[in-house]
Amino acid sequence: MTPQAVTLGGAPKSLFKDKVMQLLPEGGNLNACLTCGACAAGCPATGLEGMDPRKLLRMASLGMDEEILRTQWAWYCTMCQRCIYVCPMKIDIPQLVFNLRKSWPRDQRPKGIRESCDMALRSDTCSAMGANEEDWRYVVEDVAEEVRQSQSGFEHLLAPMDKKGATYFLNQNSREPVTEPDEMVPLWKVLHLAGVDWTYGSKGWAAENYCMFIADDENWEKVVRTKAKAVDDLGCKYWLNTE
């Protein structure tokens, strides 16, 4: 019997892999993975949906785009970039995740993140909680006054708003003034004791940007530009974003 040659087909072409490799000539070389597992060991989302960074990377390298699109794991990934820091080959898995998220139809992306992005676009405050300028100003002034009245050593504490020419423009997670206003105070105390020249803005003050996490490039940029304009309009030198 004459031996027959067996021809092995190549892996299907992966759209995600090709896109990432175009964007990141250095960190996007997914084929450089050593499967050492360092990324999976440090990943807070490892094990969720039966996935980890290494498995997602191998699936992309093998062209398993359909399988990747069926998993919710891309939305469990926090894109914290810990995997990049521990990877000996510096492979940018979060960029792969981001482009995977962009491949989902917008109306099928997680409702909570999507609606938080949409809420931030409704006002120049950029608050994903929907807090307007008036409510924001009232909460800050009320909490600051309470601290001055009740806490020894902080009788002169200030939480400035729209202070022109302040050195630092500070952003605040908008959940705190809405649900946990006292959580803002410790940072105010640090800034007060350090003698820092800072201010909040009535516009662009919300620190979070859910449009980034939902991979909505256009609105991600819109939110950032709104915040940057608020900093520039007040003439602040530095922008401190607590997120």
Question: Are 23 and 85 in the same domain?
Answer: yes
pLDDT of residue 6: 41
On the CB side of 11, CA atoms within 13 Å amount to 13
Q: Is the pLDDT of residue 7 over 50?
A: no
* Residue 9 resides in a domain: no
Of 4-13, 16-25, 26-35, 107-116, the one with minimum mean pLDDT is: 4-13
Long-range contacts of 110-114 (CB under 8 A, 24+ apart): 110/75, 110/214, 113/75, 113/210, 113/213, 113/214, 114/210, 114/214
Q: Give yes or no: residues 65 and 91 share one domain.
A: yes
Could you tell me if residue 5 is inside a domain? no
Count CA atoms within 13 Å of residue 31 on its CB side.
7
Judgement on whether residues 47 and 97 belong to the same structural domain of the protein: yes
What's 93's domain CATH number? 1.10.1060.10
| pLDDT grade for 13, boundaries at 50, 70 and 90 | low
| Residue 50, in any domain of the structure | yes
> Amino acid letter at 31?
N
Question: 122 and 100 share a domain?
Answer: no
The interaxial angle of helices 53-61 and 15-23, nearest 10 deg, is: 100
Residues 225 and 129 in one domain: yes
- 36 and 75 housed in the same domain: yes
Q: Which of 8-12, 68-72, 170-174, 208-212 has the lowest mean pLDDT?
A: 8-12
**Are residues 143 and 219 both part of a single domain?**
yes
Better pLDDT: 238 or 42: 238
pLDDT tens string 134-180: 999 999 999 999 999 999 999 999 999 999 999 999 999 999 999 99
- Does the pLDDT at position 114 exceed 90? yes
Domain termination site, one of 56, 80, 104: 104
Residues in Cβ contact with 75 at an 8 Å cutoff, skipping those fewer than 6 apart: 101, 109, 110, 113
Domain finish residue from 46, 69, 104: 104
Report the pLDDT averaged over residues 176-205: 97
- Domain total in the chain: 2
Domain boundary among 74, 104, 134: 104
129 lies in some domain: yes
Distance CA 102, CA 91 (A): 19
For residue 27, being part of any structural domain is answered with: yes
Give domain status of residue 66, yes or no: yes
pLDDT at 8: 41
Kindly state whether residues 199 and 121 are assigned to the same domain: yes
Indicate yes or no: pTM above 0.85: no
Instruction: Mark whether 50 and 141 lie in a shared domain.
Output: no
Give, for 42, the enclosing helix (H) or strand (E). Answer: helix 38-42
Higher pLDDT, 4 or 60: 60
More confident residue, 31 or 126: 126
Say whether both 30 and 126 belong to one domain: no
- Domain, as residue range, for 128: 112-240
Is 8 contained in some domain? no
Please tell me what DSSP assigns to residue 206.
Answer: B
Whether 232 shows a pLDDT value over 50: the answer reads: yes
The reported pLDDT for the residue numbered 4 is 55
Are 46 and 122 found together in one domain? no
pLDDT at 67: 86
The burial class, CB within 10 Å (0-12 / 13-18 / 19+), for 1 is exposed
Q: Are 65 and 104 in contact (CB under 8 A)?
A: no
Whether residue 217 lies inside any domain: the answer is: yes
Residues 99 and 30 in one domain: yes
